[in-house]
Amino acid sequence: MTNKPSAPQPTAESQTGPVRWQLERIVEQLRTVRTEWRSNSGRPRETGGRDLPSRQTMGMIIEALMCALFPMRLGPSNLREESEDFYVGYTLDNALNTLLGQVRLELRYTAHQQEAVESDLDAQAIRVVRDFASTLPDLRHLLDTDVIAAYNGDPAARSVDEVLLCYPGILAVIYHRIAHRLYKAGLPLLARISAEIAHSATGIDIHPGAQIGHSFFIDHGTGVVIGETAVIGNHVRIYQAVTLGAKRFDVDESGNLQKGQARHPIVEDDVVIYAGATILGRITIGKGAVIGGNVWLTRSVPPGSNITQANSQNVPSGTN
């Protein structure tokens, strides 16, 4: 008869009561580290407090906006067309009121960072959210072009419904279109939170500052990186692991990075960029160019170019 392994015996410490973690000492040491951080004038400034926008809340807002934009596809399964308008109105009312609270938090956070007087922030928040809401019909039109581009660009796509329900590239683009509007409205923190939610869900990293034209399609998508100052035209298609990045980061006299400079590529209309291509710097990929897989580019290419690994070093320079 096989002997069964005996259960592990409790330790002497666990027999006598709860385990002690020396929390008093750890809490004191953590307080010391926080104090050092906040008192060091050479480090980035911290405003203090916990009145910051919520990643979880922003995720709920964007999910609600997606349902309101595409109610019969992304809304509740029991929704019927006769109640569609009521559902959209109810969902938007909740989402926009919740967004208003998050906008107030960012505006106050920004005022604290800049040591500015918090005057009329509530009125400013209402104005920002009202302006954002007014763009939603145009946003739906724009997203329709992206869905159609994905359907037309992928022979495996059986319907536009499949594209909208399943494709990570479309999910990332929806989040980006919303995040970009927040970014343009002067809400970079809410925009970045929104973008990083999509990044976590899809593996596609699009900075909310990137400007992207209509009918944009990211096929497969994992590993795509699009930088803050990238400009992408209409009818552009890119594949997985494509990077539209910066070639170098300029610094000031003190060695600090200079922020906000145009440092990412310009991709003109009708360009296709295949998997693994890396395109760096403020260069221009001319209209209708095709960039092959795993190509490394740091110089502009003329319209209509067909760039492969074999000829990428010999391509004539385009317009910078």
Query: Is the residue at 291 inside a domain?
Result: yes
Q: Does residue 199 carry a pLDDT above 90?
A: yes
Alpha-carbon separation of residue 97 from 50, 84, 94, 126, 135 (angstroms): 20, 20, 5, 9, 16
What type of residue is 221?
G
Q: Is 266 helix (H, G, I), strand (E, B) or coil?
A: strand
Query: Is the residue at 41 inside a domain?
Result: no
Q: Are residues 87 and 198 in the same domain?
A: yes
What contacts 314, CB < 8 A, 6 or more positions away? none
pLDDT digits (tens, 9 = 90+) for 28-76: 999 999 888 888 766 666 655 668 999 999 999 999 999 999 999 999 9
Query: Is the residue at 67 inside a domain?
Result: yes
Does residue 118 or residue 165 have the better pLDDT?
165
Query: Is the residue at 215 inside a domain?
Result: no
Give the containing element (helix H, strand E) for 92.
helix 84-113
* pLDDT value for 168: 97
Alpha-carbon separation of residue 162 from 68, 73, 81, 101, 168 (angstroms): 18, 10, 20, 34, 11
Looking at residue 267, which CATH number applies to its domain? 2.160.10.10
Looking at residue 168, which CATH number applies to its domain? 1.10.3130.10
Query: Is the residue at 28 inside a domain?
Result: no
Confidence label for 259 from pLDDT (cuts 50, 70 and 90): confident
Confidence label for 257 from pLDDT (cuts 50, 70 and 90): confident
SS3 of the chain: helix, strand, coil, percent, to 5: 45, 10, 45
Q: Are residues 271 and 195 in the same domain?
A: no
Task: Show the domain range for 190.
Answer: 52-204
Picking from 155, 172, 204, the residue at the C-terminal end of a domain is: 204
Whether 131 and 185 have beta carbons less than 8 Å apart is answered as yes
In terms of phi and psi (left: phi > 0; alpha: psi -120 to 50; beta: otherwise), the region of 288 is: left
Percent of all residues in the chain with a pLDDT value above 70, rounded to a whole number: 89
* pLDDT value for 204: 98
Lowest-confidence pick of 109-113, 127-131, 133-137: 109-113
Picking from 204, 235, 262, the residue at the C-terminal end of a domain is: 204
Quote the longest CA-to-CA distance of the chain.
83
Domain count, the chain: 2
Mean pLDDT score across all residues of the chain: 91
* pLDDT value for 5: 61
Query: Is the residue at 212 inside a domain?
Result: no
* pLDDT value for 278: 98
pLDDT digits (tens, 9 = 90+) for 229-246: 999 999 999 999 999 999
In sequence order, what are the beta bridge partners of 278?
243, 296
Mean pLDDT confidence for 250-256: 77
* pLDDT value for 106: 95
Work out the angle between the directed axes of helices 55-69 and 136-153 (0-180°, nearest 10): 80
Mean pLDDT confidence for 93-98: 98
What contacts 47, CB < 8 A, 6 or more positions away? 109, 112, 113
Q: Does residue 105 carry a pLDDT above 60?
A: yes
Q: Are residues 199 and 270 in the same domain?
A: no
Q: Are residues 70 and 156 in the same domain?
A: yes
What contacts 291, CB < 8 A, 6 or more positions away? 271, 272, 273, 274, 277, 279, 285, 297, 301, 307
pTM of the model: 0.87
Q: Are residues 82 and 179 in the same domain?
A: yes
Q: Does residue 11 carry a pLDDT above 60?
A: no
Query: Is the residue at 273 inside a domain?
Result: yes
CB-side neighbour CA atoms (13 Å) of 73: 14
Mean pLDDT confidence for 203-224: 98
Query: Is the residue at 43 inside a domain?
Result: no
Q: Are residues 173 and 85 in the same domain?
A: yes
The dihedral over CA atoms of 237, 238, 239, 243, expressed in degrees to the nearest 10, equals 180
CA distance linking residue 168 with residue 145, whole number of Å: 16
* pLDDT value for 300: 97
Picking from 154, 169, 204, the residue at the C-terminal end of a domain is: 204
The phi and psi torsions of 163 (rounded to 5 degrees) equal: -60, -50
Confidence label for 187 from pLDDT (cuts 50, 70 and 90): very high
